[in-house]
Structure formats: C-alpha cells, structure tokens
Chain A
Amino acid sequence: AQSVAQPEDQVNVAEGNPLTVKCTYSVSGNPYLFWYVQYPNRGLQFLLKYITGDNLVKGSYGFEAEFNKSQTSFHLKKPSALVSDSALYFCAVGGNYGGSQGNLIFGKGTKLSVKP
C-alpha cells in the first residue's frame, strides 16, 4: 500500500534561515506528490506538486520541493524563512495504487515554527 511519512513532528527555524520540511514516500509505481499548508483554524492550501519532469518543483509563497527518486523523498524547502510561514505542513501522495482510487493519502503533518 502507498504511504507517506513526515519524520519530524515539529521544525524550528530562525527567521531568515533556510528551512526544510522532510517527506518520504512509499508507492509501487510512479508517485504523484503534493505539499499543502494549513494555517490556524483554516483548511489546507495547495502549495505545489510533482507529477513528472524536473525534479525541482517551485510553488506558492517562495516554496520549492525536490523530488529524489533514489531516496524516495520529496522535501519542502525555502531559502529564507518568514515568521508568517509558521503553520502546519502536510505531504501527500496521490495515485491509483493498491485500490486507493486516486485519493490523496496524507502524512501526519509537521508543525513549522519560525522565530523572529
């Protein structure tokens, strides 16, 4: 069965420093990978996705993610963190694997805290 793991419950970064939120996946075929952000008392907002092509994907708010097939990873990155980036971040995998019917399967989420 397909799955996605976010190994860190929380990531703490100082404003202006680069940030990385980690995600690894397990699927039987080619993965479709997504990152979402959730601000307090809000729904999830789509940030970026990898379907095929260039391994470096650029998304909203200056975020980017790098697809690494050999390491089965899709880490979210930003060169310079802002306090306003503090939120919950979810990695997800989508696709027709093992009866998933194309539904998105989410990781447990990582809380990003950016301190001034």
Chain B
Amino acid sequence: EADIYQTPRYLVIGTGKKITLECSQTMGHDKMYWYQQDPGMELHLIHYSYGVNSTEKGDLSSESTVSRIRTEHFPLTLESARPSHTSQYLCASSESRGLVLGTEAFFGQGTRLTVV
C-alpha cells in the first residue's frame, strides 16, 4: 500500500454545507492530484499541483478549490455542496518534478461523497 491517506472515507452531507476532503502523503512527492470518479467508473482530473503554493485546474471543470501550503498536504474544499457533487474523489501523488515523465502516480483509497 502506498503512503497516501484520504479522510474521510465516506461522507454524507446536506446541501449548502462547506466541506473539506483531506489528502496527505508521506513520500515527499512534489506533484499531487485530485481526480473525480463518476458512477460509470471514468476518472476525471480536476486539480493538480507541482509543489508548495502551486495549484492548477485539471481537464474537468470543478466548483471545488484546492490549496498546497505544505508538500505533504493537498486538501480539496467545496464551499457549498450540492447533490451534483456526489461522487468519489481520489487523491494521488507522484515523484514528478516539473515535467519529468514516466513516473507512476500513487493513489489514496478515495472519499465517497454523498450530498443530500
């Protein structure tokens, strides 16, 4: 198992609530990612970071925001949750520095979010 942790594993929350999904890794990786996985299995990159103070938007537009204040921590925040945000969120990290290629990403176990 990779040393990347997501909390909570499962979350059921009401519409309009603010939530933060936590992701931490102990591998010292510079690059981190958030993927959204819909019920049909497909993975969509929503945010990534090259390192501290770096955040970038991914291929899929998302109302969530991220921050990278520490290398090991990459939390994702939804200011006002809606039922359309119901999904599985997967955090990952990799050893890539800048555009170094060919390194695999390590994934956390995911957070399954349900907004009611």
Contact = CB atoms under 8 A, between A and B. Distances in A.
Nearest to B1: A45
B38 to A, nearest CB: 10
B50 to A, nearest CB: 8
Q: Determine which residue in B43, B45, B48 has the highest number of CB atoms from chain A within 10 A of its CB, and name it.
A: B43
B101 A103 contact: no
Interface in A76-116: 88, 90, 94-96, 101-106, 108-109, 111
B90 A102 contact: no
B107 A45 contact: yes
Main SS class of interface, A: strand
A88 B112 CA distance: 17
A108 B44 CA distance: 10
Contact of B100 (A34, A102, A104, A111): A102
Q: Interface centre among A32, A88, A101, A102, by most B CB within 10 Å?
A: A102
Nearest to B107: A43
* Interface size, B (range): 20 to 34
B58 A43 contact: no
Interface in B13-54: 31, 33, 35, 40-43, 45, 48
A106 B42 contact: yes
Contacts of A105: 45, 59
Contacts of A95: 101-102
Given A41-B109, A94-B102, 4 more contacts: A46-B105, A102-B96, A102-B100, A103-B48
Interface of B: 4, 6, 31, 33, 35, 40-43, 45, 48, 56, 58-59, 90, 92, 96, 98-102, 104-110, 112
